[in-house]
């Protein structure tokens, strides 16, 4: 309980009748407490899944309870990316949302890179079904990657790098 506040003059002499015991004309009331902060404010900033189209996710599930396979995670992240992109088209200055989008894109890129290295046919299926652009392949030093007409990478190593035509 906070301190009591009394209405009345604050500079009254101490010998004035009724001042010390608050019996005469001053009405005392307990101090007002600050309203507790609702916990919902902190939770509202978290993602709840509204307006996210997860209709393409079930076709990548390996079983009914599969939520962690790489393809399912990529499909869920793609749905979230599409939802955030639509949000950012109307709210251009929502930089916190933009930061979240960049984080999700990085996470999806890492998962796609893993899928590319481990299961190439599944990677191609995910690209075609979800409409995601293929990874940009970064070559190591002394290695040149050249894409053919079928978007298949050709790796040139060593002396072949200097002989290859510039793309």
Q: 49-130, superfamily in CATH?
A: S15/NS1, RNA-binding (1.10.287.10)
CA distance 122 to 128: 10
CB atoms within 10 A of CB 115: 22
pLDDT at 43: 43
H-helix or E-strand spanning residue 87 = helix 70-90
Domains of the chain, by residue range, sit at 1-34, 49-130, 138-167
Assess contact for 33 and 4: CB atoms under 8 A.
no
- Give 32-86 as a DSSP string: PPPPPPPTHHHHHTS---TT---TTSGGG-SSTT---SHHHHHHHHHHHHHHHHH
CB atoms within 10 A of CB 33: 8
pLDDT at 63: 93
pLDDT at 136: 83
One digit per residue, pLDDT tens: the chain, 167 residues?
555 555 555 555 555 655 555 555 555 666 677 776 655 444 445 567 777 888 899 999 999 999 899 999 999 999 999 999 999 999 999 999 999 999 999 999 999 999 999 999 999 999 999 999 998 876 556 566 666 666 666 666 655 545 555 54
Assess contact for 78 and 108: CB atoms under 8 A.
yes
Predicted TM-score of the model (pTM) = 0.58
């Amino acid at each position: 309980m906070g301190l009591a506040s009394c209405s009345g003059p604050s500079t009254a002499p101490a010998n004035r009748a009724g001042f010390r015991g608050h019996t005469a004309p001053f009405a005392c009331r307990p101090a007002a407490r600050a309203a507790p902060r609702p916990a919902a404010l902190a939770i509202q900033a978290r993602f709840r899944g509204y307006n996210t189209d997860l209709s393409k996710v079930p076709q990548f599930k390996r079983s009914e309870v599969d939520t962690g396979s790489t393809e399912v995670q990529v499909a869920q992240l793609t749905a979230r990316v599409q939802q955030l992109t639509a949000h950012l088209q109307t709210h251009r200055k929502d930089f916190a949302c933009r930061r979240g989008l960049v984080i999700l894109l990085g996470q999806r890129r890492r998962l796609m890179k893993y899928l590319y290295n481990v299961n190439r046919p599944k990677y191609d299926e995910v690209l075609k079904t979800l409409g995601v652009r293929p990874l940009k392949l970064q070559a190591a030093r002394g290695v040149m990657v050249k894409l053919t007409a079928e978007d298949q990478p050709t790796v040139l190593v060593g002396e072949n790098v200097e002989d290859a035509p510039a793309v």
